[in-house]
Structure formats: C-alpha cells, structure tokens
C-alpha cells in the first residue's frame, strides 16, 4: 500500500514539475534548467515502483502461449529462474 502511494506521489510530482517548467518557460519567459532532469529521475523511480507493485500483484507481462506450450516440469524450472 505504501508503494502505491509512493507511485502516485511520483506521478503527481512529475506532472507538477512539468507544468511548472512550462509556466516558467512560456508565461514568465524564464526557463528553469533543473525540472527536466528531476522529472527524468522521477520517471526512473516510478518505473522501479511500478515494477515492484507488478511483482507483488503478480501482474508482470508474461508470454502465455510460451508458458502454455511448455511441459509442466520445464515451466516450474523456468518459474524458479525468473
């Protein structure tokens, strides 16, 4: 539950910083240099949080056809490696 809140916070912070950068650039005509870098880092952390949440919910993308075509013993060995 905490990581979900962290992910929401990261998305909100990215949106706020992007809107702030656009406001400063086009309304005040004074571009800020740092928001693009910070938003990039936030998106990296958001991807980590999303991967964690997907792993906890067993919601990662999988190749269902490949797994269904494998014999049960091979599937179990593949699941242990992943």
Q: How far is CA 75 from CA 32, 59, 69, 81, 82, in A?
A: 52, 18, 9, 10, 10
Give residue 60's pLDDT. Answer: 72
Q: How far apart are CA 80 and CA 9, in angstroms?
A: 33
On whether the CB atoms of residues 46 and 10 are closer than 8 A, the answer is yes
Sign, Cα dihedral of 33, 31, 7, 79: negative
Give residue 61's pLDDT. Answer: 73
- pLDDT 10s digits, 22-40: 999 999 999 999 999 999 9
Whether the predicted pLDDT of 77 surpasses 80? no
């Amino acid at each position: 539950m905490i990581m979900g809140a962290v992910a929401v916070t990261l998305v909100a912070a990215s949106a706020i910083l992007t809107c702030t950068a656009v406001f400063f650039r086009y309304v005040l005509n004074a571009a800020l240099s740092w928001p693009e870098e910070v938003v990039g880092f936030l998106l990296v952390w958001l991807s980590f949080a999303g991967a964690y949440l997907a792993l906890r919910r067993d919601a990662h993308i999988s190749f269902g056809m490949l797994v269904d075509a494998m014999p049960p013993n091979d599937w179990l060995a593949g699941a242990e490696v992943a």
